[in-house]
Structure 1
Amino acid sequence: MEHKFPTSLEVIDICLLAGKIMLQCGAETYRVEDTMSRIAATFGIPDSHSYVTPTGIIFSVDGTEPAKLIRISERTTDLYKVTLVNGVSRKAASGELTSQQAYIRLKEIEEADFTFPIYQQIVAAAIASGCFMLMFLGQWSDFIPAVICGGIGFTSFIYLHRVVQIKFFSEFLASLIIGLAAFLFIKSGFGAQLDKIIIGSVMPLVPGLLITNAVRDLMAGHLVSGLSKGAEAFLTAFAIGTGIAVIFAFYS
């Protein structure tokens, strides 16, 4: 099966599209660069160069073609799309997909929406909050308060983020609401351990994947991406901690 794409610029477009999807969906920097290089090699460009940061991708090939830049403005977590892009890369390398078919498949992946409905995300976050509370040695009597607080907090985060586009403030306000709800449960006698309820309820907001990717990028030698992702994770943790601290400052 023929693998060569008509022009180098079109190969660059395929690589940038694959990298864009992966970076927007939470892939590590080294995985994005490796996938782009493999796709380029598959379609006849063995010598390619890429520079990936959390907010942009620069990709070029040896020769007369200019480098191209793509901006990443929104990032989320959708590891299923990352898996699909890796699958396209493997099928192209094995000869199962032509360059045109690979590009069409990547466009389909980009436009597809695999996220769960909002209510399912809220229910999952609420149940996870109760389970995290138990994991941190909380009492069974605090399970329902933790579930309610976690659900309220995650709901607040989703809808506040639509109003306040700055993620720091939506996370701060969501943790503030969680702390207030947990405090009200304790005062009304429906809860016993304030700290356990709060810890379990804020866990759905904790940037676990971001922290993991920051460490993996640093270990792989991508210092700029690793430090920037670590800084973003630190700001998220700071926002959550500040929101809870405000509640303790006023009501303790």
Structure 2
Amino acid sequence: MTLQEMDNEMTMDCLLLAGRMMIESGAETYRVEDTMLRMARSQNMPDAQCYATPTGIIFSLGKTQPTRITSISSRVTDLQKIALVNSVSRKLTSHIITLEDAYDELKSIQKTNYFLPTYMQVIAAALASACFLIMFQGTWSDFPIAFLAGGVGFYVLLLISQLTKVKFFSEFTASLAVAIVAFIAVKLGLGKELDKIIIGSVMPLVPGILITNAVRDLMAGHFMAGIAKGMEAFLTAFAIGAAIAVILSF
């Protein structure tokens, strides 16, 4: 392998790693493509081509260069990681760091878990649920019930997500737990407005960022990615609605 080929391999590895992390962290596909192409141009490769979808990236450095494909099987929302990758991209395009330094930084970012501890995520989700209850004009007496239901639902989501790779099942089970807790609390006289308790408690499960990214991709002309993300958001909404309907039907 020649020195030029080794440099091209390093460039491909660095750019694909950046794009992969961005998609896995919930970035819009047009942002991923723009970031990868800017990084490629900073390495004097203006003929680079990139095609990103929520499930994979196809990338080439030019007409005479080999094309690489990377698949993406899981996606979460990690805005901190997206911001860090963008920071590395800006430093590389401004020639503040070299390609090797950028690759090392990206590898370090990939290995680091930027999520809060589980208990803090659960507490935050519970507090958000209770605040959403008040925002939807619920009564303050239902505040503790929404806090409990939201926390239980989000904990179940994290637990089931670790046990199974089926996103629909984890969201369905979490919504089921929310509805059960709210229903029991109302039946025991601890809560008053069942509908507002449930609505507030499932808000941490609602795919708000996913819907926003789907619309932004569609507006940017990335119809395939926008439709795919829209369908993913629809499945999440369907899982939440189906679980609530199961409990209310009884």
Q: Could you say which TM-score interval applies, normalised by the shorter chain?
A: over 0.9
* Structure 2 partner of 1:62: 62
Q: Which runs of 4+ in 1 moved over 4 A?
A: none
- Cα distance between partner residues in 1 of 2:6 and 2:99: 9
Q: How does 1:186-197 map to 2 (within 5 A)?
A: 186-197=186-197
**Shift in CA distance, 100/5, structure 1 to aligned 2, threshold 3 Å:** farther
Structure 1 counterpart of 2:176, one-letter code = L
Identify unmatched segments of 5+ residues in structure 1. none
- In the TM superposition, residue 63 of structure 1 has moved relative to its aligned partner by 3.4
Q: Distance in 1 between matches of 2:124 and 2:5?
A: 44
Counterpart of 1:33 in structure 2 is 33
Instruction: Report % sequence identity.
Output: 55
Matches of 1:171 and 1:190, distance apart in 2: 26
Matched-pair contact (CA < 8 Å) for 1:5–1:43:
no
Q: TM-score, normalised by structure 1?
A: 0.95
Q: Which residue of 2 aligns with 1:98?
A: 98
Task: Provide the rounded CA distance (Å) in 1 between the counterparts of 2:182 and 2:80.
Answer: 34
Equivalent position amino acid for 1:97 in 2: I
Aligned equivalents of 1:95 and 1:176: distance in 2? 51
Counterpart for residue 237 of structure 2: 237
Q: 2:224 corresponds to which residue?
A: 224
CA shift, 1:6, in A, is: 5.5
2:63 partner SS: coil
Aligned-partner SS, 1:248: helix
| SS, match of residue 108 in structure 1 | helix
CA distance in 2, matches of 1:101, 1:158: 34
Q: Is this contact kept in 1: 2:129–2:203, CA < 8 A?
A: yes
Contact 2:211 2:230 in 1 (8 A): yes
Contact 1:149 1:181 in 2 (8 A): yes
Kept in 1, the 8 Å contact 2:126–2:147? The answer is yes
8 Å Cα contact 1:175/1:243 also seen in 2: yes
CA RMSD of superposed structures (Å): 1.2
Q: What is the count of residue pairs matched by the alignment?
A: 247
Distance in 2 of aligned mates of 1:182 and 1:209: 26
TM-score under structure 2 length normalisation:
0.96
In the aligned structure 2, how far is the partner of 1:100 from the partner of 1:7?
10
Report the CA distance between 1:65 and its aligned residue. Answer: 1.7
1:72-125 Cα shifts (integer Å, max 9, x gaps): 111111111111111111111111101111111111111111111000000000
- Does the aligned pair in 2 maintain the 1:30–1:222 contact within 8 Å? yes
